[in-house]
Amino acid sequence: MAELSNGASCPLCGLPLPSLVEGVPDAPTIAELAREITYLRATVARLRGSGFTGTPDSTGGDSDHAH
């Protein structure tokens, strides 16, 4: 299984990225990442289907979200 890299993280969510052992991730890591990608794609599709745009606007969208 891939080890977590030292300090490298996803620029979108901040989660630590797996490091590559000898340049190639092992099969379980690839399978896990494929499941995560499928899940995230389905989540994005559900959000888009419900009208979520990800940007604050006057039409509802994500108007309650504040940083």
Question: How far, in Å, CA of 51 to CA of 57, rounded?
Answer: 12
Predicted local distance difference test score (pLDDT) of residue 20: 60
Question: How far, in Å, CA of 16 to CA of 22, rounded?
Answer: 19
Predicted local distance difference test score (pLDDT) of residue 22: 60
Please tell me which residue, 63 or 15, carries the higher pLDDT value: 15
Question: How far, in Å, CA of 61 to CA of 12, rounded?
Answer: 20
pTM: 0.46
Predicted local distance difference test score (pLDDT) of residue 33: 93
Please tell me which residue, 55 or 43, carries the higher pLDDT value: 43
Query: What secondary structure does DSSP assign to 28-59, as a single string?
Result: HHHHHHHHHHHHHHHHHHHHHHTT--SS--TT
Q: What is the pLDDT of residues 13-53, one digit of tens each?
A: 888 877 765 667 788 988 999 999 999 999 999 999 998 88
Q: Are 21 and 2 in contact (CB under 8 A)?
A: yes
